[in-house]
Amino acid sequence: MGIRPAKCFRDMTKVAWTRFSRSKPRKSYIKSMPHRDLNTFRTGTKNDKYDAVIDLVSSGDITLRDNALESARQTLNKHLETAFPGNYYLVVRAYPHHIIRENKMIAGAGADRLQKGMRQSFGRPTDRAARLKAGSSVFTVYTFKQNLNFVKSALTRCKRKLSGSYTVQVA
């Protein structure tokens, strides 16, 4: 069975039970952290001579899973690398701090005798997510002004991988 769709997690009304402590494990809400899908936060060539900064900004409050962020980052990086290799610097601004919990249910014959449903359900940590407020930046691309139109189209393609609505802003 695959992962649950984004509509199950994207609202920001739920409390973030994300406390994890290595020094005081008894104080932790989470005993073991789920793996991270998003591992690379900075790609490209860092250069002080870039004269254009382009941001992908969220239009509303949203929770984004780290595998969606990784998919969008790979799409954006691939298009920028093929168009002008070495002439950009990409920064992922959203960090997946929030822990997503799931109460896994058993399906099939005889499953009704094995589970208790939602009784005292707290769920187990399954994935990570980034919580974004309206107006916060998801990706930032530093490049030259001659590449501006291509970066805008690459960010438009990238935001199709993410749930919610976003705008491209040039600083």
| pLDDT tens, residue by residue, 24-81 | 888 877 777 888 888 999 999 999 999 999 999 999 999 999 999 999 999 999 999 9
Range of the domain at 164: 13-101+118-170
Domain membership of residue 144 (yes or no) is yes
| Tally of domains within the chain | 1
Domain membership of residue 5 (yes or no) is no
Domain membership of residue 123 (yes or no) is yes
How buried is 22 (Cβ within 10 angstroms: 0-12 exposed, 13-18 middle, 19+ buried)?
exposed
Phi-psi region of 111 (alpha: psi -120 to 50; beta: other; left: phi over 0): alpha
Name the pTM for this structure: 0.84
Average of per-residue pLDDT values in the chain: 87
Split at pLDDT 50, 70, 90, the class of 110 is low
At residue 158, does pLDDT exceed 70? yes
Domain membership of residue 2 (yes or no) is no
pLDDT of residue 23: 87
